[in-house]
Amino acid sequence: MLGRILNLFRGRPAVIRGASKLPEGYAKKIDLGDPLAGCTSIILCRVEGKLHALDVRCPHEGGRITEGPLVDGKHARCPLHNFTFDPRNGAVISGHGGKAKVYKVRERDGDAEVWT
């Protein structure tokens, strides 16, 4: 019950169809919303069987976190300065600066719900 009430304040999630097909240790860039109206771009990652979402923007100097295989199968990478981030919490693994922004993700019936 409390979760339903809190969802009213969080807004409705964006649904990503077929997210269950993302293999372990990989990241996929997803654009949520209308690109002409300013969409939100995320990196959807599967680590230890769970989906996690990071903002595509690296917090250090405007680089972009890339899709593809994760470093060591569990860290997202920004190739601008070769920084890596933990998709589970946005923590910097290598490099310096702030944490990457993370979004809440829930898997349901093969799809993912992401709150941005």
Q: 20 in a domain, yes or no?
A: yes
Q: 51 in a domain, yes or no?
A: yes
Alpha carbon distance 101, 49 (integer Å):
20
Q: 47 in a domain, yes or no?
A: yes
CATH of the domain at 110: 2.102.10.10
pLDDT of residue 62: 81
Alpha carbon distance 2, 32 (integer Å):
26
Q: 3 in a domain, yes or no?
A: no
Alpha carbon distance 38, 91 (integer Å):
26
pLDDT of residue 31: 94
Residue-range definition of the domain harbouring residue 33: 14-115
Number of domains in the chain: 1
Q: 40 in a domain, yes or no?
A: yes
Q: 98 in a domain, yes or no?
A: yes
Q: 19 in a domain, yes or no?
A: yes
pLDDT of residue 38: 81
Q: 8 in a domain, yes or no?
A: no
Q: Following DSSP, what letter does each residue of 36-92 receive, concatenated?
A: GG-PEEEEEEEETTEEEEEESB-TTTT-BPPPEEPBTTTBEEETTTTEEE-TTT--E
Place of tokens 């990071």: 54
pLDDT of residue 17: 97
Write out residues in the chain with pLDDT < 70, as ranges: 1-10
